Amino acid sequence: MWTANIHFFSGRVSFQGETAGKETENMNTEEKKIAVIGIGGVGGYIAGLLAKAYPHVTMVARGARAESIRKKGLVLHSDYKGEIVAKPERVVPIQDMGQQDYIFICVKNYSLAEVCESIRDMVTDDTVIIPVMNGVDPGENIRRLVGKGTVVDSLIYTVAFANEDFSISQQDTFTWLCIGIKDADERQQKKVAEVAGILKGADIDYKDQGDIEVEIWRKYILNCAFNVMTAFYDNTIGELRRDPVKVQQYEKLVWEAASVGQAKGVALTDKHINEVIHKFRHVHADNATSSLQRDFRIRRKQTELETFSGYIVKEAKRLGVSIPLSEKIYQGLMEIAEKF
């Protein structure tokens, strides 16, 4: 299945900030315990590269997926990094994860509260949690629900999905993360640099982003159109592009979502918004689909509709912002989902 965040990017990402290298020198990453919760497309890519690079990696999985990883390792077919088979130190259900130095959370938003409840007693003040998820507020939710440790916010640009045999496929010649904490103090900056060092050591491309909030919203306004339109019409991006009415609707959804972000004080500019629209018109592959569309196709009862549509509609009402098309399509998708 496609990840919800299909975002195309050309060119390598340069590593930013000399602090990452200095922090890596000062911390023995070989001794650090790293866990990845959620071994789907995104989590599988991250977990595979981490387990290849570091000895103490725990993959949190259960059932047939866990058994497959224990027997065969995590198999990653990556256009960018090649064929990788990574064998983690441990493959366990979440209740057996234990204390970790770094925890990457790569689950759907509807599973986050349960994950936080499960790990709360395993988190210490020194633990670093990195949510690699959709939406604009997983980091804030983790801070509220766990109440300990340091949360380093992130987002990922990739095309990755899990296969029926539990292998992971990553397509195209890019995958990279943005990491950061808004208005970080000195201690938080140090934790961000530690995460940068972990990623660099695993050959995972990243940007240490100053204003992570803007980056999260740039991606979010894309998904408010990308996921929502592909699911509502059950169209590929190419099919949407070939219909002038749908093109107009797609662009309207981007602007409406951005208006909510701006009302919340996010520093989104017209340039940011037009870049998202440019990607839709000229960059995204014709055959691109979204995870929300795939979930609707198989009539999955749990989806991230609330992450993409529900959140933006509720925030608009709270802030007094008019987003009529977003409301209309949200209601339409709700009616479709009620039949599942």
Helix (H) or strand (E) holding 225: helix 212-233
CA geometry: angle at 135 spanning 310 and 257, to 5°?
60
Q: Is the pTM of this model over 0.75?
A: yes
Q: How confident is the model at residue 54 (pLDDT cuts 50, 70, 90)?
A: very high
Say if CB 91 and CB 66 are below 8 A apart.
yes
* Per-state percent for the chain, helix, strand, coil, to nearest 5: 50, 15, 35
Task: Say if strands 150-151 and 153-157 run parallel, antiparallel, or are unpaired.
Answer: unpaired
Output the pLDDT for position 91.
Answer: 98
In sequence order, the 6+-apart residues with CB closer than 8 A to the CB of 200 are 15, 20, 21, 24, 206
Q: What percent of the chain has pLDDT over 90?
A: 84
β partners of residue 136: none
Return the residue matching tokens 């970790």.
100
Q: Which amino acid is residue 279, in one-letter code?
A: K
- Name the phi and psi angles at 132, rounded to 5: -120, 85
Q: How confident is the model at residue 15 (pLDDT cuts 50, 70, 90)?
A: very low
pLDDT of the residue at 173: 83
- Please check the confidence at residue 23 and state whether its pLDDT lies above 80: no
Residue 158 has a pLDDT of: 87
CB 115 within 8 A of CB 94: yes
Tens of pLDDT, residue by residue over 244-279, are: 999 999 999 999 999 999 999 999 999 999 999 999
178 near 154, Cβ under 8 Å?
Answer: yes
Residues in the chain: 340
**Is the distance from CB of 304 to CB of 246 less than 8 angstroms?**
no
Query: In whole angstroms, how large is the CA radius of gyration of the chain?
Result: 19
Cross-strand partners of 59: 36, 91
- Distance between CA 266 and CA 145 in Å, rounded? 24
Q: Name all domains of the chain by residue range, CATH numbers in brackets.
A: 19-210 (3.40.50.720), 213-337 (1.10.1040.10)
What is each CA distance from 262 to 138, 227, 268, 321, in whole angstroms? 19, 21, 6, 10
How far out from the chain centre does Cα 42 lie? 7
pLDDT in tens, 221-246: 999 999 999 999 999 999 999 999 99
What is the identity of the amino acid at 126? D
| Angle between the N-to-C axes of helices 324-337 and 212-233, in degrees from 0 to 180, rounded to the nearest 10 | 60
pLDDT digits (tens, 9 = 90+) for 167-220: 999 988 889 999 999 999 999 999 999 999 999 999 999 998 778 999 999 999
> How far is residue 3's CA from residue 40's CA, in Å, rounded to a whole number?
8
User: What is the biggest distance separating any 2 CA atoms in the chain, rounded to whole angstroms?
Assistant: 56
Let me know the angle formed at the C-alpha of 149 by 147 and 154, rounded to the nearest 5 degrees.
100
The position carrying tokens 């009402």 is: 317
Residue 290 to residue 7: CA distance in whole angstroms: 10
